[in-house]
Amino acid sequence: MPNLAYGSVTRHESDAEVDNQGSSLGASRDLLNNENDLDSRGEEWDEIRGEAKALDDNAMSGFLNESESKKLPQAIIIGVKKGGTRALLEFLRLHPDIRAVGAEPHFFDRNYDKGLEWYRYITLILGIYFKL
């Protein structure tokens, strides 16, 4: 089974603003940073989605107005189990211009049926992006 980790690339006027949004998403991050599977978390996903909708419009407007492509990951790490993908991700994460997911979303192997919208939300909510 492939082991997936991903990040996406986007540009923000104010990275601090985005970082601040992270605090309001702490619960979501904590949930996903547990490294638990996301595929059996229907109710929690609904909560996460609710949080995203409740976010302040002004704070998020720049990000939400990004093109569709920028909401998607622009880099993904794919590897077999125990292939060292986590180590690669952690090394990449050290770079100041790279933001990467905490938990592996397993979109392609477990959550594909949740669709692209789910993938975009996960990307958005976790602030998973590479600053370029």
The reply to whether 83 sits in an annotated binding site is yes
Nearest Cα neighbor of 127 from 19, 13, 3 is 19
Chain residues binding ligand PPS by CB under 6 A are: 3, 79, 81-87
Crossing angle for the helix pair 26-33 and 42-54, to the nearest 10 degrees = 150
CA angle (102, 103, 105) in 5-degree steps: 130
Of the pair 54, 87, the CB lying nearest ligand PPS is at 87
Does 71 participate in catalysis according to the annotation?
no
Of the pair 52, 75, the CB lying nearest ligand PPS is at 75
The reply to whether 85 sits in an annotated binding site is yes
Q: 132 CB contacts (<8 Å, ≥6 apart)?
A: 9, 10, 11, 97
Closest distance of CB 3 from ligand PPS, Å = 5
The reply to whether 84 sits in an annotated binding site is yes
Residues with a catalytic annotation lie at: 82
| Binding residue ranges for 3'-phosphoadenylyl sulfate | 82-86
